[in-house]
Amino acid sequence: MTSKALMNTYGQRALTLVKGEGAYVWDDQGKKYLDALAGIAVCGLGHAHLGVAAAVAAQAATLVHCSNLYNIPAQEALADKLSTLSGMSNMFFSNSGAEANEAAIKIARLHGHAKGIELPTIIVTDQAFHGRTLATLTATGNRKVHAGFEPLVRGFSRAPFNDIDALQVIGENNPNIVAVLVEPIQGEGGVNLPAPDYLQQLRALCDAKGWLLMLDEIQTANGRTGSYFHYQQHNILPDVVTIAKGLGNGVPIGACLTHGPAAQLMQPGNHGSTFGGNPIACAAALATINAIESDNLAQRASELGTQLLQAFKTALADCDKVKDIRGSGLMIGIELSEPCAELVARAADQGLLINVTAANVVRLLPPLIFTDQQAEQLVAILVPLIKAF
Ligand SMILES: Cc1ncc(COP(=O)(O)O)c(C=O)c1O
């Protein structure tokens, strides 16, 4: 069923999901699915999490909204919590990932103008995904996302992902560079992991050049890749980091976290949002972070991710169609040698929700609460489907 009143942005949608519990969802026909996608890296705690539901219900019964004209205790508590978790000092709350990145892009421009650069330019990478607003779609490294929306926004320079030398060359030729915006692991681009020392090299290059290192952790953070923020596995601190997706376990909220000089650039009147950081969203995010911490879910993601990668590598070792199996924590990609979007429907037939991105990469982003038995079920359904493809 699709209402004719909806804009056709998502095409024909095959399933109507009406209920969830933990790692399972049910459609309107009563069919049960194992959810290995979690709303695309959103519901890390699984569906209908009682702690989040209680926090949202309590806040809704107290004060849903009041505007950022007033102090919002839940927003302040969330900022303090995220600051302690991240090592970053000042943050802005948005409603989505794209908006968090918009804030980052505006900060980079302020950083440039403060240095007297009139056309501040941000380096972004091929195959990146940063969102669908005009600035973030320009930052996105996928022609399909740009097409039809030209003129694109000025002030971006594109480089290959995972190529420090290319960034150095751009820096030598373009005095307007002020920042690098990059995903530590590309998500929509195909679960692309850079060299292990990439982030450290990026940090060193940005330090040497006076550029802001801006990490888009919208997909990789919130415990998904084995630590609350992915950069924590690389012993660096970015100047700016953006998060969203798993932050509120499905209640829309994003954040742009800053540190050092980047933290002092925004002043009253520069930026704002009606809904960003509102009481309900912040209550949901606080409850989500508390559960991730108290249930040790980042560590669980790391351990289960390692087990799952190994299980897929073993089970698919003799499958010629599989080019690569890679991932970090519970962000896993299985790259096939040909486009494989049809696998999504075949898996759904078998009661499993997965995703295919970059045409030929099966992407798995299960909830962080996945049990060993659910992981075994995932492997047992998916491996034969890939072998038979
Ligand atoms: C890395 C990354 N950045 C930005 C976004 C955009 O986030 P949103 O859809 O919440 O605007 C996404 C969404 O997929 C993403 O994966």
pLDDT digits (tens, 9 = 90+) for 208-226: 999 999 999 999 999 999 9
100 plus 148 within the same structural domain: yes
181 plus 202 within the same structural domain: yes
Best probe residue, ligand 1, of 219, 241, 256, 355 (max atoms within 8 Å of C-beta) = 219
Report residues whose beta carbon is within 6 angstroms of any ligand 1 atom: 96-98, 101, 129-131, 183, 187-188, 216, 218-219, 244
274 plus 360 within the same structural domain: no
CATH number at residue 31: 3.90.1150.10
State how far the Cα of 329 lies from the Cα of 307, in Å rounded to an integer. Answer: 9
- For the segment 244-267, the average pLDDT, to the nearest whole number, is 98
- For the segment 334-351, the average pLDDT, to the nearest whole number, is 98
Contact 22, 368 (CB under 8 A): no
Number of domains comprising the chain: 2
Atom of ligand 1 nearest to the CA of 133: 11
**307-321: buried (b, 16+ CB within 10 Å) or exposed (e) per residue?**
ebbebbeebbeebeb
What is the 10 CA–ligand 1 centroid distance (Å)? 15
Atom of ligand 1 nearest to the CA of 217: 1
Atom of ligand 1 nearest to the CA of 188: 16
- For the segment 230-246, the average pLDDT, to the nearest whole number, is 98
Atom of ligand 1 nearest to the CA of 98: 11
pLDDT reported for residue 1: 57
230 plus 362 within the same structural domain: no
Contact 303, 295 (CB under 8 A): no
Contact 45, 291 (CB under 8 A): yes
35 plus 180 within the same structural domain: no
Indicate if the pLDDT at residue 345 is higher than 80: yes
Three-class HEC string of 140-203: CCCHHHHCCCCCCCCCEEEECCCCHHHHHHHHHHCCCEEEEEECCCECCCCCECCCCCHHHHHH
- Each residue's pLDDT tens digit, 302-323: 999 999 999 999 999 999 999 9
Among candidate residues 294, 311, 344, the one where a domain is terminated: 294
State how far the Cα of 199 lies from the Cα of 187, in Å rounded to an integer. Answer: 16
Which pTM does this prediction carry?
Answer: 0.98
Give the pair of three-digit tokens for residue 251: 């209640």
214 plus 100 within the same structural domain: yes
Print the domain residue range for 372.
Answer: 17-48+297-388
State how far the Cα of 247 lies from the Cα of 249, in Å rounded to an integer. Answer: 6
234 plus 370 within the same structural domain: no
What is the 319 CA–ligand 1 centroid distance (Å)? 32
Q: What are phi and psi of 78, to 5 degrees?
A: -65, -40
pLDDT reported for residue 2: 75
- Each residue's pLDDT tens digit, 26-72: 999 999 999 999 999 999 999 999 999 999 999 999 999 999 999 99
